[in-house]
Amino acid sequence: MQIKNLEKLNIPDSPGVYFFRKSLPAGGSASSEILYIGRATALRDRIKSYFKNDLIETRGPLLVDMITKADTLEWQESDSVLEAVILESNLIKKFQPYYNTKEKDDKSYNYVVITKEEFPRVILIRGRNLEKGLEGESGENLPFKIKKTFGPYPQGGLIKEALKIIRKIFPFRDEKSGKDKKGRYDLFYETLGLSPNTATAEAKKEYAKTIKYITLLFEGKKTGILKALEKEMLDHAKKNEFELAGIAKRQIRALTHIQDIALIKKERPGSLENGGFSDSFSAVAKSFRIEAYDISHFGGSETVGVMVVVEDGIAKKSDYRMFKIKSGKGNDDINNTKEVLERRLKHTEWPMPDLIVMDGGDPMRSMATSVFSLCPQTKIMSVKIVNVIKDEKHKPREIRGEEATLQMIKEQRRESEVLLANAEAHRFSLSYQKKLRRIRLK
């Protein structure tokens, strides 16, 4: 867009990269030349800063010269600051804009390196060391071959924070990784969930996939990762591998809701305290809570009910609850479940669910809807309820509910979470019922 009236350009207030261009004479192969590429936490504020009177004091004469020559402005939004950091580096490397490359020294910048090893590491190396084949500032020779290199990244603190975020989604080995005295890799980091288990052949295969996803992320191909993870999640769900499906689901959610508040702090120090960022950056995404219920009995006796919880695809066993049925309804599953729901709703200190999963036919869902609709807590009115229909082998056949609820589950890819919750409720209720029988027989 032509740089005339900034207010009319409708610049978004979101993360991304921006381009200052200069038009070229007609007749050439290109209509314009990219002079400068920058990155922004909030595009609107960053771009406006180039047109303030104090530009020479805040940015220096080089960028003032660039602004006087630029006549066109463009931008590309990103879903997060993390992706903006990666995109900026890739675009500068591709187009080599004059004002990005003039008087800069790539040798002092950081590069992300993926090593060529049985279990590759993801590490940061200075450009000057990379050129000399050295690993650290003290001058050790690189003890590995290099598979992939990404960068340069001028701000070391920023790319270090970026790697911390990526590592929480895709645990990887780093420069400190190695074997302890018992030959185990990264036991401490494995416990924290930051380093992968590398003890089995299957682990090696899974880790190769992790490295592939990290590579795609640094290449700016997040869409490809999401498609692969979605297929992986559905494949696991079809095989009733709900825990593995939950891991893939969690990675999908993490990629689509990247929490990069640490990057924003590094990008603009002190601005958080001064209220410099919109709520959309600082808000922490709320976990999606599913509660599932099931009843188990032995020939109409020893009847028990359970509540299980799944949050963001992961079974939250600390929130599981057991209920000994008091009404004496025997094998009347609907009334026994009604008792469980009513007792659960008395616990106002428990978090409210976003979705309820009932085991059984439509009458079971209708009963649950009636119980929740009569609850005086206004929050309950927004709770959605579905029921899982089983086949003759007691395998999930269909998820039923209101059309809007089913559409939400489909759009948010929560089918595997519903089935995991339902399977956990059945397992937990049987386990509790058998425990009571063992106690009675003693």
Cβ distance 307 to 358 under 8 Å? no
What does the pLDDT profile of the chain (442 residues) look like in tens digits? 556 666 677 899 899 999 999 988 876 666 789 999 999 999 998 898 888 777 666 667 888 889 889 988 999 999 999 999 999 999 999 999 998 876 566 667 889 999 998 889 999 988 888 877 765 555 556 777 889 999 888 888 889 889 988 988 998 988 776 655 454 555 545 555 667 777 777 778 889 999 999 999 999 999 999 999 999 998 988 888 887 888 888 899 889 888 676 677 666 543 333 222 222 222 334 578 999 999 987 766 678 889 999 987 788 888 999 898 887 666 788 999 999 999 999 888 888 899 999 998 999 999 999 898 887 664 555 689 999 998 888 888 899 999 999 998 988 888 888 998 999 999 888 888 777 766 665 5
In the chain, which segments carry CATH 3.40.1440.10? 6-100
**7: alpha, beta or left? (left if phi > 0; alpha if psi -120 to 50):** alpha
For 6-100, CATH number out of 3.40.1440.10, 3.30.43.10, 3.40.50.300, 3.90.1170.50 equals 3.40.1440.10
SS3 at position 374: coil
Q: Which pLDDT score, from 0 to 100, does residue 134 have? A: 60
Q: Which amino acid is at 267?
A: E
CATH topology of domain 289-441: Nucleotidyltransferase; domain 5 (3.30.420)
Say which DSSP state 377 is in: -
Domain with CATH 3.30.420.340 in the chain: 289-441
Q: What is the dihedral of CA 64, 70, 76, 79, to 10 degrees?
A: 10
Mode of pairing for the β-strands spanning 289-298 and 321-324: unpaired
- Residue 203's nearest CA partner among 221, 190, 222 is 190
For residues 359 and 367, what is the distance between their CA atoms, to the nearest angstrom?
12
Question: Would you state the pLDDT for residue 318?
Answer: 86
pLDDT at site 261 = 65
The reported pLDDT for the residue numbered 157 is 82
Terminal Cα-to-Cα distance of the chain (whole angstroms) = 81
Name 250's Cβ contacts closer than 8 Å, sequence gap at least 6: 312, 313, 314
**Cα 26 → chain centroid:** 46
- Rounded to whole angstroms, the Cα distance separating 385 from 354 reads 9
By DSSP bridging, strand 289-298 and strand 355-359 are parallel
Contact 261, 81 (CB under 8 A): no
